[in-house]
Structure 1
Amino acid sequence: MITAPIRPIESADVPRLVSVSRAADTMFAEAGLDLPPDDPRETLAQAASVLVAGDPLCGLAALTALDGGAHLEQLAVHPDHGRQGIGSALLEAACACAREWGSAAMTLTTFRDLPWNGPWYARRGFVEHPARLWGADLAAQWRAEADIQIAPRVAMVRRLDNA
């Protein structure tokens, strides 16, 4: 397992993070999912916090606030650096950041069945988040994502207060 330094984003990181995000997106095409083109610059600019990993940069975690709590908007690791613990380290750093915000939980939306999406998060303490418990912000995000849904998606949550 390789460890990668994790730190907050700096403005000079954006071009490399765009490359990392786009490279990570190629995994979806390889799995048969044709995602619409995505420019991560908007996500990076609007995130409440972005953590980056590696030297050179090879991963990112972007957090937003939904319904007054932390939401993992994007987690991406360049495929050349996959399966080295970088995604897990970024996820744990993102959870620590959310705790610093005072969040008792973190939500996310992801593809239900892709091994590096829903099942991967489940192994890291996330559980399916029933729609009846969603706040207005998560419900709005779900509806926006439903417009481009090409495979079953799931909202997940992980409690942070006992982590």
Structure 2
Amino acid sequence: MEIREATVAELATLPALESASDSIFAELGFPPLPPPGSPDELAAARLVLVAGSPPAGFARVEVVDGNAHLEQLAVHPAHFRQGIGTSLVRAVLTWARTAGFPAVTLCTFADIPWNGPFYRKLGFTEVADPGPGLRELRAHEQALGLDDLGARTVLRHPLTAS
């Protein structure tokens, strides 16, 4: 499936895709997660990559503490377990390396299989001492109540020039 930058028209469709993707958490007994980002927030992101046309998944990237930060990864449930999430993460890593970022970071649930363990399989490791931007993101997540749903972690994937 082709991975490319989202078009302006596609940005309006991505909040519904994110909501559909988040529905899998209900299977774990989670209450509804915070609402998805708006099309305006997506338009302001450093990068939004999509998989397919119409998009079956997307990755939203910001810049935090001088690193590319994977703010959101979402795949529509109709396309789960087809390698789309992996392809999107690898595309983010390639983009960030080409753009000269030293690493890609993210915040996620530590133990849910399609969160922490998924990213660890792709080479992400725990961040022992997050920078100020990541600490601010974690405080925001705590204020939203995400820590009440399960252990959260900050992960980092170092990048080297290819």
Scaled by the length of structure 1, the TM-score of the pair is 0.91
Gap runs ≥5 in structure 2 = none
* 2:73 alignment partner AA: L
Give the aligned partner of residue 157 of structure 1.
Answer: 156
Aligned-pair CA distance for 1:90: 0.4
* 2:126 alignment partner AA: E
2:76 to 54, 75, 78: 78
1:5 to 2, 7, 12: 2
1:141 matched to 2:123? The reply is no
Alpha-carbon distance in structure 1 between the residues aligned to 2:45 and 2:108 = 17
User: What is the percent sequence identity of the aligned residues?
Assistant: 41
Correspondence list, 1:122-137, <5 A: 122-130=120-128, 132=129, 134-137=130-133
* 1:24 alignment partner AA: S
Matched length: 158
Alpha-carbon distance in structure 2 between the residues aligned to 1:55 and 1:36 = 26
Alpha-carbon distance in structure 1 between the residues aligned to 2:126 and 2:32 = 23
Alpha-carbon distance in structure 1 between the residues aligned to 2:107 and 2:43 = 19
Aligned-pair CA distance for 1:162: 6.3
Give the aligned partner of residue 95 of structure 2.
Answer: 97
* 2:27 alignment partner AA: E
3-state secondary structure, aligned to 2:56: strand
Scaled by the length of structure 2, the TM-score of the pair is 0.91
* 2:134 alignment partner AA: L
